[in-house]
Homo-oligomer: A and B are copies of this chain.
Amino acid sequence: MEADNPDLSTAFAEQIERHRFPPGYRKVFLAAIEAFAERGFHATSTRDIAARAGMSPAALYVHFQSKEDVLYRIAVSALELTRDMVLATTEGIDGPTGRLRATVRALTTWHAVHHAAATVVLHELAALTPDHRAEVLRLRRSVDRLVSGPIAAGVRAGEFAVADVGAATLAVLSLCVDTARWYRPGQRRSAREIAESHAETALRIVGAAVR
């Protein structure tokens, strides 16, 4: 979870602290995120998670009901943090152009820095129980609305030239979330540079008048 943006790279850990997880809990969380992202939920054994967290397999079951429960709690925490982080970052910014730019910047940075957690949220949810999956997908839609909101506002204000708000939202979201698929630390561009580039690209996608 190391990264080139200290503020965001530590945010997930802070969120975990804030929820006052018991000792030993946090390292299980981080170990499982790494393992699920690298190898997938089903390829990851409870022994893998326990070993990475420096404990015995049985100790996991003191804090978690099952392996699925680990995935579920990771997904909920990650999405709640994503939502809260975007809300905090865009607070006080007026105007659709500024809000969209800030939102895309924040979402892209998050998906780069926390690409492991993002991969889990984007591609490992099939392993959840139906109830848990429905809840997590509701959370994911609340993140989607953070993008569709500014786009719709920009269309209403005449700042954006968009024929289909839903289509534009999906396009901008694809840009942000696919970052988690290809970004790795140490590549040509830093997470910050990519976020800046994505923000300008998003404004092109929505046909922003003012640049």
* Chain A 69-87 per-residue mask, 1 if CB under 8 angstroms from chain B, else 0: 0000000000000000000
A3: Cβ under 8 A from any B Cβ: no
- Of B41, B166, B174, which is within 8 A of A178 by CB? B174
Q: Is the CB of A123 within 8 A of B123?
A: yes
- Of B126, B188, B201, which is within 8 A of A171 by CB? B201
Interface size on A, residues (CB 8 A): 34
A167: Cβ under 8 A from any B Cβ: yes
Q: Is the CB of B188 within 8 A of A166?
A: yes
Question: What residue in chain B is nearest A171 (Cβ atoms)?
Answer: B201
A197: Cβ under 8 A from any B Cβ: yes
Which residues in chain A, 164-194, are within 8 Å of chain B measured between CB atoms? 164, 166-168, 170-171, 173-175, 177-179, 181-182, 188-189, 194
Which residues in chain A, 128-178, are within 8 Å of chain B measured between CB atoms? 164, 166-168, 170-171, 173-175, 177-178
- Of B122, B175, B179, B182, which is within 8 A of A175 by CB? B175
Q: How far is the CA of A38 from the CA of B65 in the complex (A)?
A: 25
Q: Tell whether A126 pairs with B204 under 8 Å between CB atoms, given A178-B178, A182-B170.
A: no
Nearest Cβ distance between residue A31 and chain B, in whole angstroms?
17
Residues of B within 8 A of A39 (CB): 42, 126
Q: A167-B194, A205-B205 are in contact. List 12 more A-B contacts (CB 8 A).
A: A40-B42, A40-B127, A42-B42, A43-B126, A123-B123, A168-B201, A170-B182, A171-B197, A173-B178, A174-B175, A175-B175, A204-B204
Q: Which 6 A-B pairs have the closest CB atoms?
A: A174-B178, A42-B42, A42-B43, A178-B178, A204-B204, A174-B174
25 chain-A/chain-B pairs, Cβ below 8 angstroms = A38-B126, A39-B42, A40-B40, A40-B41, A40-B42, A40-B124, A42-B42, A43-B126, A43-B127, A123-B123, A123-B181, A164-B197, A166-B188, A167-B189, A167-B194, A167-B197, A170-B182, A171-B197, A171-B198, A174-B175, A174-B178, A174-B181, A177-B181, A204-B204, A204-B207
